A and B are shown apart, each in its own frame.
Chain A
Amino acid sequence: MTSLRIFVIGGLMSYRALFGWLKPGILIPTLVFTPICQILLFAYIGRSAGVGDDEFYVIGNALNYAAIPCLFAMSFTIEGERQGGTLGIVLTTPARRLPLFLGRALPVVVNGWAVAMIGVVGGALLLDVHIPGGAWPSIVLAVVVTSASCTGLGLAMGAVTLRVRQGSTIANVVFCVLLVFSGVNVAQSDLPGWMAAVGDWLPLTHGIQAARLLADGSGLGAVDGLLLRETGIGLLYTVAGLALLRFFEDESRRSASLDRV
């Protein structure tokens, strides 16, 4: 019961307190205006280059932007505690680490999902992209899976910020890696082989492929393999993130580096 409370209430409180973008003046430009602009940028580049159609770029970039809250919020979770001087207190509590950190990830998954859906809906409306009505529930599911898997990567990145100061910089770098390697704007088959191989081990790649197939009219059954791979990769990063948290927590106790800023 205590673990459940830490997971739900603790996670929500932490998100409200530490996700520094929860103010309309920051949230709307960052998580509503900017993803739409990224979609428009690449859709127009695609038109200009004569590559892909608008739907390709709407889905790819909307899902790519889910990575922004997923990566940044998890990093803020650690950095914010450090800046508030509460990181030491959090890590000396007897609370189990699994609900403590996974609880912080749950609101982030919802946020990532919402940002991606705003991108898909906004991009489709602005660029007059037609997605069949029956495809939407499956797309919603694909976006949930993708956001959760991105949050797994965010958790691993958040763990690194236990040791490294520049969480925002790392999050931006990881976002760029996802943009280039995950087939966001170029189909995996058109990427150089080594890039496609890297992309296969990143979150987003299979989720984006699944969402594109769904938007083209495929059924959920046709993309279950892709969604399973996306889930598997997300789980892999989540486990790695939890292991890294454990490692860096122990390491920071040993070297008294927890609050070093």
Chain B
Amino acid sequence: MRALLHQQWTCYKLQLKVLSTSAFEGFLAVLFPLMFASAALLIYRVQDDPESMQYAGLGAAIMGMWTAQGVVAASMLSRERWAGTLELVVASPAGLGRVLVPATLAMSTIGLYCVVATIAWERWVFDLRLEISSWPLFVLSVLLTALTLALVGYFIAVTTTRYRYSGTLGAALEYPGWILCGFLIPVASLPAVLQPLSWAIPTTWGMAAIRSSADGGSPWGDLAACAATGAVYAVLAAWLGSRLVESARRHATLALT
């Protein structure tokens, strides 16, 4: 257990260092959603309705978590491939999941930084003070959202193991995530055909829990749904990860050369 925790902590620390010093995965992962959040807030502020601004402000604060995770996780194994370290990661006795989960947790940490930076940005630039009814529940909801997003990131990372253009796929996931997860658009206002997709993403439930804890409602039901859907992604990722890596090793296709 001690060895496992040590390995997880070391991996997390290293990945956090790599991400936070990268202009593309660190700086842009914060700036890009921040600018989109600003664009959305500029739209909402036209009506000058404090309730709408509270809605948009909360969603805008959380949407950066999706970017920090989805976009970066998709290209994580491709980056290892370019660096020539993918074979080492796959062949290590630690197992792929034990390497990927701390890495996606590091991405979620960048996502948490996005949340704090956007809340500060909203306050300084838009003079928007978010009304949070229960800070402990709000923080708990944000943390659980970050944790389950790390599991989604784990799933995305393993499913793109053998996809050459995984970085592009990750970038293409950014807008659908922003549309589906209820950050700035109520899920109920999306076309009916898209709504089940929203419910299949833990972040949608996490966002609902964050709104409930800010509005004074009970977030527990949404938090339970968030944890449950996150767990499904973790199980699927673990299963798919071992199958895909085993297949890549058998067919010698890991390098994609």
Binding site for B on A (CB under 8 A): 23, 25-26, 29-30, 33-34, 37-38, 40-42, 44-52, 166, 168-169, 172-173, 176-177, 179-180, 184-186, 190-191
Contacts and interface: CB of A to CB of B under 8 A. Distances in A.
A52 B42 CA distance: 12
Contacts of B172: 29-30, 33-34, 37
B11 interface: no
Interface stretch (B43-51, B98-106, B141-149, B224-232): B43-51
Interface in B159-216: 164-165, 168-169, 171-172, 174-176, 178-179, 184-186, 189-190
A169 B42 CA distance: 24
> What 5 A-B pairs are tightest by C-beta distance, nearest first?
A37-B175, A176-B35, A29-B172, A25-B165, A44-B185
Contact of B43 (A29, A38, A40, A49): A49
Contact of B28 (A44, A52, A169): A169
A26 B165 CA distance: 7
Contacts of B169: 29
B239 interface: no
20 contacts: A25-B165, A26-B165, A29-B168, A29-B171, A30-B172, A34-B171, A34-B172, A40-B179, A41-B184, A42-B40, A44-B179, A45-B184, A45-B185, A46-B43, A48-B186, A50-B47, A172-B32, A176-B31, A184-B39, A186-B43
B52 interface: yes
B31 A173 contact: yes
A179 B35 contact: yes
Contacts of A173: 28, 31
B1 interface: no
Contacts of B31: 172-173, 176
Given A44-B185, A44-B190, A51 B43 contact: yes
B170 to A, nearest CB: 10
A179 B35 CA distance: 8
Contacts of A185: 39-40, 42-43
A173 B189 CA distance: 31
A68 B169 CA distance: 16
> Of A23, A25, A176, A184, which is in contact with the most chain B CB atoms at under 10 Å from its CB?
A176
B37 to A, nearest CB: 10
Given A33-B172, A49-B56, A180 B186 contact: no
A185 B174 CA distance: 18
A62 B185 CA distance: 20
Nearest to A39: B175
B23 A49 contact: no
B176 A47 contact: no
Nearest to B185: A44
Contacts of B176: 37
User: Which of B47, B165, B184 has the most chain A CB atoms inside 10 A of its CB?
Assistant: B165
Contacts of A184: 39
Interface in B8-62: 23-24, 27-28, 31-32, 35-36, 38-40, 42-44, 46-47, 52, 56
A136 B234 CA distance: 49
A30 B22 CA distance: 22
B25 to A, nearest CB: 10
A172 B165 contact: no
A45 B38 CA distance: 12
Contacts of A44: 179, 185, 189-190
A187 B36 CA distance: 16
Contacts of B189: 44, 47-48
Contacts of B175: 34, 37-38, 40-41
Contact of A191 (B42, B168, B174): B42
A34 B28 CA distance: 17
A118 B42 CA distance: 26
